[in-house]
Every structure is written in C-alpha cells, then in structure tokens.
Structure 1
C-alpha cells in the first residue's frame, strides 16, 4: 500500500491494522486483544470517555464481528487500586464495555485452555500477566500456551510496544494474523507527526519507566522541542543524573547512562528541563494509604510512586 511505503521511507515499519483487515474474516474466529491496562483500567474512566475511546472500540468492533474475544494484559495498583484481582477487573470491564466479561484461568501447568466451556459469555479475560515471570522473559512455551486456541492476535497496547513480551511478541508466531488495534493505530499516527512538527515553542511531557529502552525516542523529542517536562518515575531518573537527591531504590541503575545522555544533549541545545516539585506516593503494602513528598525528600522506602 502507498501509505505503508511512505511509512517505510520515514523510518516506521509497515504494520497491518484492524481497520484494514476484512471484518468478515473475524467472524467465528478466536481473537486475542492485548489491551493497555493504563487506559482501560484507569481509575477515573467515566461513561463519556468510554464512548469515544479507541481502546474500547477495538474490543467492541471485534465482538460485533461475531468473534470470540479473549483479553490479555498486565496490571498493578498503579492502574486502579480498586481492580486488582481478575474478578474485579472483569467486573470493571463489564461495566465499561456493557458486555459480559468472564475471568478465566486459561493456562495452568498441566492443562490447556478450554474455550468451549465459556461459550455463554461475551468476552474472556485471562489472568494478570504480571504474575508470570515468563511474560517478561518472552518464554516461548508460555507464549504458546497463552496463544493456544487463538486465531488472530490484535495488539492494542501501545505503551508496551517497545517491550519484548510473551503477550506482545511471543504469541505472534502462533497466530495466522497479527494486527494493530484502533488505539495502537491512533497512537502511532500521533507519533508520526512528531518529526514533522514545526510549531515553536513546543514542549514534550515525558513519563513512564525503562528510560534505557526509550532513549532514541527521547533524543528525537530533545532535537525537536524547546523544553522537556519529565514526570513520574522518568523524572526521578533525570533528577538522579542531574545530582538531585533521589532514593536509590527508585533509580533505574541500568538506565543511568541513557538518562545522562539525554540531559547532556538537552543542555547542548540549551533547551529547558522541567521537573516535579513533589510526588504523590502510595504505600507499598497498605493500598489506601497515600502520602505527598517534596521532590528532594522522598525518603520512606514503604512508599512507591503511583
């Protein structure tokens, strides 16, 4: 396709999207959707948001194509303190999607998934992938079990696209079609506009973790923008290399070199780096306990950033 050739010229790999995939081919198929928990499980998600979110549209579109939908993701207290178990996540998603979502422990040590047992439900939710070290290791056997019975894989988790996970990379070798969902495609389209942005002054707000994996993207932002605003865990990495007091248990030590590289590059271009003055943290064990710390005084190891 011409648009894919254009993307290749701009340095973006061509991807097959759900939007361009024949909808009739979804019918009677089992489709796994790797969703972004930071979007779909957001604590403040309300009805007006749910009506317009492309993350929700991906799931509803596949369901309306008469496919069996299997949802997979990982989540922590950072996503939503009220939805931690598979049961509460399924209940939350049911209320947002207006469809019946059933939690299903679909992979065990000695048992394969049995999708026939849940024909009466609209959507199946797999176990929290955060509970499995094989997910982060992209274990091939784990990915095979995860994809057992799946025909088509749809990745709608843009925030994990840079990670090599069993649920984003490993499963693709066991499905005959692998597609980008509507939310993924929306985020990619926004990313493609960054190199073309000529607005000035412009400022980029950067959050998240794993600065080592994101250094190339950060360098592009630093080359285009007049200022960088760092928030959350990312801010702590930048603060550390700038010599500001940060508890060592909050520092990604494997990414110190990359953080320093970004700071030096920003300084070479004389662009501003803005950092938070305080952080809201949640207790590591007492889920409902929160505490605000000044940026230079995060000292209690019992508290973690949201």
Structure 2
C-alpha cells in the first residue's frame, strides 16, 4: 500500500512492525520479518532517509548499546510524503495536459494544411493541375471557361495520359470558349478521346474535381492584379459541394458531339413534362390535391401519383415545394 510513496515491500513491512510493536533493533526486526541482515539494513536506511524512522544508540540506562529503531508518527511522516507525491502528480498532470494540447495543435495544423492548400503563381498552379489529372483513377469533372490565363488545355499531356488509363472525363465549357483561339482543334481532340463535353451559356467558375476526393478552383479572376492563385481542396465536405455545383451545371448543359467532322450541339438532356404530365403539374401548382387531379383528368389516383413521382425525378425534386420551384425555374409553367 505504501509503494505509492516510494517504499519497497520490506521497508513497508518493517515500518508497520515498528508502528504496531514499538522500537526494536535491526537484529530483532530481521528475526520478526525473516529477512536477512543485509536486506534489513538496506530497508532501514530507506526508511531513515524518508524520515519514517529514527535510530537511537541508547539502551535506556545511559550506556551505548545496539541501535534501536523507532517509527515516526504516521500522521506527520506519511502526510509529508503524500504531499510530495501530490505535488509531483500535479506537475505531471500539467505537463501531460501541455503536451496533449501541443499535440492537438500540431496535428490540427497538419490536417488543415492537408485539407486545404492555397497555390500561388502560374507555375505552381500548372503543377497542381497536372498532379490532379495524373492522380485521377476513375473520373474527372471539369468546368472550363476557355480563358487559359494560367494553364492551357492539356499543356502537359496529363489529360491524354489520364484518358488512356481509363479515366472518364466529363467537361462543361462556356459558350464563349467555342470561339477561343484553337478551340475547335482542342474540342476535336477531346471528342476523339471519347470525352463527354457539354456547353452552357456561362460557366460559373473554373473547376476540376478528381474521383470525388480532390478539387481545384481559382481564387483570383483573370486580369486581376497580382499573381493568380488557386485553392486545392481535399476536405470531403467541400469536395462534395464542388461536385454538386458541377452536376447542376452539367444538368443544364447541351451535349456536344461530332457530325460530319464538325462539333454539333444536341438537345438539353433534362427534358420536360409534356401532355398529360404538364396538365398534372399545372393542376398541382394551382393547389389541387392528388384526388382532385385524378378526378378532373379521369385518371386513377395511383396513376396520378406515379406520374407525379416521375415529374419530381425529372426535376430532381424531393418535395412538392421543390417541384414547384424547379417548375418555375425551368419554365415549365406560365408565371
């Protein structure tokens, strides 16, 4: 029990003996405990050093005799040792807390640096674009404005190599990029590599997303004073956000293909409700219930509900409120 204050097993046994049975010589203590003379002497020295016992060389008659050892009062002697231990433990706790905080700060800084990185300068940005493409394993998404103020299209050959590895490219370009210098040549090459390309009137920002795990987008605008900068993102939440942005732009874009050797724009892929579905949508937005719509159009309730679910899937809406908003946004109903 007293090992917590630094006493060995024999020393504790000797101290307990002296407290309970009174003073005794080393020889007597050795006989009581069954320990050898040398072990007993070492343990008594330990107790003396700790201030738990004291030796007297008086046999009580005034004549010098064999040393007798007496225990110091436990309430005083042990409390002093316990106080020292409490202080040492408190210092150890403070040191441990300081080390833990330093560790958290160091690992947090490393994690933040790894999740988000600011890249400055054309050379550094070009290197990151190349790294993202060379590191892609299965899919790469890109929004392209056509303004190659930092990195020209496939300047390093990383795009070609990625396609040859089987990386599936989906690219949305701004309509103005079609008129950029050498745009036709680049588009022919991309379409010839079976890349899927779509066109919108305006791309919100440049963006590259590889495998849903890393994204690269600009922090500065073309022509802005100072060196161009970009943000390399590995934080899962932010990469998901960039992916959603791409998918929304992709949904509204028109597919670009080749016909007779020339780039040709197809119809927007989203489609829209027609015929009965458009009448169902109009009645819903007018406030009719599913039952009222079914009765007015002469359809079964389950048929109406099935067609409503199909319209919601077409609009990528999860609720009726979202369906109404999407319908107005897409021009499916009259204002």
TM-score of the superposed pair, with normalisation by structure 2: 0.24
Q: Which protein has the larger Cα radius of gyration, Structure 1 or Structure 2?
A: 2
Identify the structure with the greater helix proportion.
2
**Larger RCO: 1 or 2 (CA < 8 Å, sep 6+):** 1
